[in-house]
Amino acid sequence: MGIDSKSGTPGVVTTNLEKLANWSRTNSLWPMGFGLACCAIEMMAAQASNYDMSRFGMELMRSSPRQSDLMIVAGRVSQKMAPVLRNLYDQMPDPKWVIAMGDCAACGGVFNNYAVVQGVDEIVPVDVYISGCPPRPEGLINGVLLLYEKIRKEKFAQWK
Amino acid sequence: MNDLLKPAVEKLQKKYKAQVNEFKDEVTVFIPAEKNTEAATLLRDEFSFDMLPVVTAVDYCPQSPRFHMVYIFYSTKDKVYLTMRASLDGDTPSIKTMEGVYPSANWREREVWDLFGITFEGHSDPRRLLMPPNWQGHPLRKDYPLGYEEVQYSFNFDEIDLRKPKGER
Amino acid sequence: MREIQEFTLEELKHKFSPRALTGDTVVLNMGPQHPSTHGVLRLIVELDGEIVVNCVPDVGYLHTGIEKNVENKTYQKAEVMTDRMDYMYTIGNNLVYCLAVEKLAELKVPPRADGIRVILAELSRIQSHLLWLGTHAMDIGAMSVFLYCMREREMILNIFELISGQRMMTTYIRPGGLWRDVPASFEEAVRDFIKVLPGRIAQYEALLNKNRLWQDRTQGKGVIDTKTCLAWNVTGPVLRATGMAHDYRKANPYSGFEQYDFDVPTQTGGDVWSRYLVKVEEMRQSLRIVEQALDKLPYGPVRDSNAKYIPPRRSEIGVSMEALIHHFKLWTEGFTPPKGSVYTAIESPRGEQGVFLESDGTAKPYRVHFRTPTLPLLQALPLVAKGAFVADLVAIVGSFDVVMGDNDR
C-alpha cells in the first residue's frame, strides 16, 4: 500500500481490492465460541485479561451464529451434538472460517470410542487445527494469527 | 465391619436370608431382585439411610446371572455406606424401580436402561438419557464393541482417508 | 445419525402441563449452544409469558463413553481419562480415582504426599469457585467480576504448571502418591498466593455484596430446602446453603483432612444468594487449609515403595535386575490388584464425587462407575425452576454450578 503524499491530502492509501477486503475481514473477526468442554475454559482464559484476545479484534464471543464469522470448536463433539454443530455451521453467513481447537476437535483426542466424533473435520471443513489438551491460551492465539495469515492470502477466484 | 452398620446388616440378613460379603471394610449384602424396594424402604425408615448416591449395574457377560444391580446407600447421621447387590439374568432383565423410595434414582435408572438395557418396572419416564434417542444397542454391555477407529499412519493413510467422512461447505 | 432428532410434544407429553398441548403456553428450546457458558446443556422450557411453568433438561450432548473406554485400558492409562470428566476440578478426579485404586490394592500413601495432595486439592477448589463466580456473575450481568476472577485463577494455574507441566489436566496424583516431588519454588509460589488472595476476595465482596442489583437478582430466587436436597441426593454447597453442615472432608475424611482445622460454612436461605455466600466463604476456608498443610508439610518420600504397583526410580533400573523386571512388567502389562469392588468418595466443589471400582484380577479395570455430583443437581432443577422468571432460570442454573463433562462423562 502506498501513501499518496504528493497530492498534499494525507489519508489517501492506494492498494489493491483483494488486500483491502482481506485486511478488513481479519481485523475484527467475531468468533462464535462453540465452547463444549475443557478447551472452553482455556478459550475463556484466552479472552480474559492475562492473554487478551481483544488485541486481535475478538472483543466478544458472539453467541449467535448469524452475527459471527469464525467458529472455534473447543472441545469434544459427541454423536448427539454432531448434527447440532452442522446446523449451526450452516446458519453462519459467508464468509466463515472454522478453527478446531484442541486434540478432541482435531482428531478425537484421547477418546477413540463410539461416543466421540473422531475429528470435527468429518462434519465441517476446518481451516486451522490447534493441538494441545487443552492448548495453552498462547496456542489459541497462535492459531488465530495463522488464520489471519491464511485469510490475507485469499484471492478473488476462491471466493464462493 | 463398622459397628453402626451391624444392626442394619443383621436385620437384612435375617429377613431375606441375604449373603453378606466384607471386603476392605466395605459391606455388601446380596438381596433377591424382587425384594429391592422392600429392603430400601426398610433401610430408609428404620435405619437412617437417607441418601442413595450410587445406582449402577455390572455386566458379567458370559457368566450367569449376567447383571448385578448395585445400590450404595449412605447415612448422613452415622456417615456410613452400605452396598446392596441384586443379580439379574437374561438379555432383557427387569427389576422394580427405586423411584418411589428415593426420588433421586429417577435419572440414574434411565442411565442404566440407556447403557445396559435393564428395564425398570413402574418408572415414570423410561427414555434414554445420554445417547441420542434412536440409538440402537446398549453401549456398556460387554458384547457391545468399543467403536475404536483405526489409527491413520503414513502406510495406511490413503486407504483410511477414502473411507472417512468429510465435511464440506 | 447426522439428522437432529427432535422430540415431539407427544413424546414429552407426560412432562409438560396440559396447557402446552393447547398452545396456551409456549414450549421453547434453550439449546445446547447458549452463551451462559455452562457447557452443552439443553433446557426445554414451557413458558407462560415470562414465567417458567415447566423445565425439562436434555443431557447427553457431551457423552464421551469414558466408563467403557476405561475398561480397555490399564489402570495407569485410565487415569488420564478421569482428568477430563469434571474439567473444573481436575485434581479431584485424579484424587478420587487414585484413592479407589489405593483402597483396592492396599497401598500406603506417605504423609508428604498426603499433604501435597491436600494443598493441590484445595487450590483446585479455589480455582473452581473462582471460575464459577466469574461466569455466574457474567450471566447475571456483572461482567467485570469475570476478568478479576480469571486474574487469580492464572496464579493457581501457574502453580500447577510449575509442578506438572500442564495447566489444567495435570495427572500429577498417581496411585501410591504423586508423580514426583514438588520443585523448590513451589512453597514460595503458594505462600505468595496465600498473601494475595484474601485481599482479592474482599474486592469481590466489595463489588457484589452490598450491590443492590446483585441482591435483587439473587435473593429469594431458586429456593430449595434440606428435605428435598436429601431426597434428590443433592450434596455440596447447595445442601450447605439450606442449613445442613454436611461435608465429606469432615464426615468421611480422606488424605489426612482430619488434622486440619477448618469450618464448614452454612447459610439458611437456600436461595441463589445463600449459595453465593457459602462458596465465597468456602474459598477462605480452603485457603486456611492450604496454609496449615504447607506449614505442617513433612519431609520424606512422595510415593509408596510397593514395587508391584509403583515404578522404580530411573537410577535403579541400570543397576538392579528386579527394578528392570518390575519396570518391564508395569509398562507392558500393568499392575493387577486383587479381585473385588470398592467405593470411595471425596468432596468436590459440586458435591459428592465418587468412584465405584470393580476389579477381576486382571490389569484392566472390569467396571468403573463415576458417581458425579452434577446429575442430581440437574435432576432437581425442574423443582426449583417452577414459577421463576426466565432471567432467574439463568441465575439458578449458574448458582447450581453445573459442569456438563461431569454429568455426561
Q: What's C249's domain CATH number?
A: 1.10.645.10
Lowest mean pLDDT among A124-133, B85-94, C19-28, C94-103: C19-28
**Residue B63 belongs to a domain with what CATH number?**
3.30.460.80
The Cα–Cα gap between C265 and C241 comes to: 8
Give the β-pairing of C26-30 and C42-48.
Answer: antiparallel
pLDDT at position C265, please?
92
For residue A81, the chain C residue with the least C-alpha distance is C61
pLDDT at position A34, please?
83
| Omega before residue C265 within 30° of 0, cis | no
Tens digit of each residue's pLDDT (9 = 90 or more) over C92-120: 999 999 999 999 988 889 999 999 999 99
Task: Give chain A positions within 8 Å (CB) of B145.
Answer: 114
Tens digit of each residue's pLDDT (9 = 90 or more) over A83-116: 888 888 998 988 889 999 999 898 888 888 888 8
On the question of pLDDT at B52 being above 50, the answer is yes
On the question of pLDDT at C190 being above 90, the answer is yes
Total number of domains constituting chain C = 1
Grid cell locating C376: 442430581
Total number of domains constituting chain B = 1
On the question of pLDDT at C139 being above 70, the answer is yes
Task: Please indicate, yes or no, if residue C405 is contained in any of the structural domains.
Answer: no
Maximum C-alpha span of chain A: 68
pTM of the model: 0.91
Give residue C184's identity as a one-letter amino acid code: A
- Per DSSP, the three-state class of C45 is strand
pLDDT over 70 percentage in chain C = 96
Note the residue count of chain A.
160
CB distance A80–B132 less than 8 Å?
A: yes
pLDDT at position B50, please?
87
- Per DSSP, the three-state class of A7 is coil
Task: Please indicate, yes or no, if residue B55 is contained in any of the structural domains.
Answer: yes
Task: Please indicate, yes or no, if residue B106 is contained in any of the structural domains.
Answer: yes
Average pLDDT, stretch C306-321? 86
Give residue C133's identity as a one-letter amino acid code: L
pLDDT at position C318, please?
85
For residue C250, the chain B residue with the least C-alpha distance is B79
Q: Pick from A12, A122, A30: which is nearest to A76 by CA? A: A122
On the question of pLDDT at B77 being above 60, the answer is yes
Q: Cell 454391555, residue?
A: B141
Task: Please indicate, yes or no, if residue B168 is contained in any of the structural domains.
Answer: no
Look at C273 and A94; give whichever has higher pLDDT. Answer: C273
pLDDT at position A129, please?
93
Domain that holds residue B158: 6-163
The beta-carbon neighbor of C233 closest among B104, B127, B146 is B104
The Cα–Cα gap between B93 and B119 comes to: 6
pLDDT over 70 percentage in chain A = 88
Q: How far apart are the CA of B26 and the nearest CA of chain A, in angstroms?
A: 32
The order of strands in the sheet holding C351-359 is: C340-348, C351-359, C367-371
Task: Please indicate, yes or no, if residue C33 is contained in any of the structural domains.
Answer: no
Look at B82 and C24; give whichever has higher pLDDT. Answer: B82
Task: Give chain B positions within 8 Å (CB) of C378.
Answer: 107
Q: Residue B30 forms beta bridges with which residues?
A: B19, B85
Between the CA atoms of A32, A33, A35 and A38, what dihedral angle is there, to the nearest 10 degrees? 160
Please work out, in degrees rounded to the nearest 5, the angle formed at the alpha carbon of residue C91 by the alpha carbons of A103 and C290: 145
Look at B68 and C1; give whichever has higher pLDDT. Answer: B68
On the question of pLDDT at C6 being above 90, the answer is no
The beta-carbon neighbor of C33 closest among A34, A44, A79 is A34
Domain that holds residue C142: 66-304+336-384
For residue B137, the chain A residue with the least C-alpha distance is A114
Look at C125 and A24; give whichever has higher pLDDT. Answer: C125
Question: From chain A, which residues contact B within 8 Å (Cβ)?
Answer: 79-80, 86, 108, 112-115, 118, 120-126, 160
pLDDT at position C277, please?
93
For residue B148, the chain A residue with the least C-alpha distance is A113
Q: Pick from A53, B128, B148, A89: which is nearest to C2 by CA? A: A89
Task: Please indicate, yes or no, if residue B44 is contained in any of the structural domains.
Answer: yes
The Cα–Cα gap between C40 and A34 comes to: 9
Q: Pick from C374, C356, C348: which is nearest to C232 by CA? A: C374
Task: Please indicate, yes or no, if residue B67 is contained in any of the structural domains.
Answer: yes
Q: What is the DSSP letter of C11?
A: T
Confidence of residue B169 (pLDDT cuts 50, 70, 90): confident
Task: Please indicate, yes or no, if residue B169 is contained in any of the structural domains.
Answer: no
Tens digit of each residue's pLDDT (9 = 90 or more) over C195-222: 999 999 999 898 888 889 899 988 888 8
Task: Please indicate, yes or no, if residue B1 is contained in any of the structural domains.
Answer: no
Tens digit of each residue's pLDDT (9 = 90 or more) over B12-26: 888 888 888 888 888
Confidence of residue C264 (pLDDT cuts 50, 70, 90): very high
